[in-house]
Amino acid sequence: MHPLAERIQKQDMRALAKAITLVENDDEKKLELMSDIFSIKKKAHYIGITGSPGAGKSSLINRFLTYLRSLDLTVAVIAVDPTSPFSGGSLLGDRTRMNQHFMDPGIFIRSMATRGSLGGLARATKDAIRVCDAYGFDIVLVETVGVGQSELDIMKVVDTTGLVLTPNSGDVLQIFKAGIMEIADLFIINKADLPGVEKLKNTLEEYMMIAQPKGWQPPIIKTISTENEGMETFYEKVNAHQNYLYETDQGLKQRKQQLKLEVYELIREEIWREVKAEIEEDQEKQQVFQDPSADPYQLARSWFQEWMRKGE
């Protein structure tokens, strides 16, 4: 077994942080480590929190953490932030909103940069979730970057997806666009002390009547994170969805689909890593990049075919 995996199994926090850094940097030994990590996973509940910027996702998670810890549950938080165009690191740093939990040994908080991903997640998010699971956390919370309807990758890596909305914020016009509504397992109306709550709730109910979801009916939860209201109901509905996943054929179907998508993604990453390395080590190919008029389609096709022939 990989040394880091052994240390994580013994709940070594330094090893946990180091392993996440390793997968973020796409280390060549990542697959070996993650295979060992997978063998010791402990079935934490993976919960994703998504929604438009300004919906109060970080504040909501902050309050939710306090509630979960009152139940003596341990929690890992993966906060995915936008990427700096200069350093490649994460901006905003949602951990600053959760600073009251820094010293709690039952909570682990890690910010990850999207590094160019358009789906609202860092490419290594799933691996980081698995590492936290292997460590032994009861719950792994994933907060996405907040990019609106393109934020669909979350459904591929978590069990339960919560879509956070706020009254009178323009969300009503946005949420009916394809994609973002369909991935929600529960709707969270945050800042429910503002005007327009019932209008938003009615809009969501009308949407669900039109959509006619099969199986799980996404509940609508009202929260006021600043007042610490709604956290108990939030947790009850999250638990209800987890039970649904493990007691129904629909839940089994979702897990099978996630496995398929993950295998395809890992294969794509491995091919990309090898092809990129070969191109970057070839001085002639690098020289071609000096000609802005070069045909990228022809280059991609011919170089990929060349790489394929070498593997025969």
Task: Give the pLDDT confidence score for residue 100 in this predicted structure.
Answer: 66
- The structure tokens listed for 252 are 């089994």
| Position 223 confidence tier, pLDDT thresholds 50, 70, 90 | very high
- The answer to which of 86-90, 125-129, 211-215 has the lowest mean pLDDT is 86-90
Determine contact, residues 255/245, Cβ cutoff 8 Å. yes
Task: Give the pLDDT confidence score for residue 301 in this predicted structure.
Answer: 93
268: amino acid identity, one letter: R
Query: Is 168 or 164 the better-scoring residue by pLDDT?
Result: 164
Q: Which fold has domain 41-247?
A: Rossmann fold (3.40.50)
Mean pLDDT for the chain overall: 82
CA dihedral 222, 171, 197, 70 (to 10 degrees): 20
Q: Is the pLDDT of residue 199 over 80?
A: yes
- The structure tokens listed for 259 are 């496995």
Task: Give the pLDDT confidence score for residue 262 in this predicted structure.
Answer: 83
The alpha carbon of residue 233 and the mean position of all alpha carbons in its chain are separated, in whole angstroms, by 23
Beta bridge partners of 140: 46, 76
List pLDDT tens digits, range 56-107.
888 899 999 999 999 999 999 998 865 443 344 444 444 555 666 767 889 9
Task: Give the pLDDT confidence score for residue 121 in this predicted structure.
Answer: 53
| Position 112 confidence tier, pLDDT thresholds 50, 70, 90 | confident
Cα–Cα distance measured from residue 65 to residue 20, given in angstroms and rounded to the nearest whole number: 21
Determine contact, residues 114/82, Cβ cutoff 8 Å. yes
- The answer to which of 37-46, 117-126, 220-229, 247-256 has the lowest mean pLDDT is 117-126
> Quick one: 285 exposed, middle or buried, by C-beta within 10 A (0-12, 13-18, 19+)?
middle
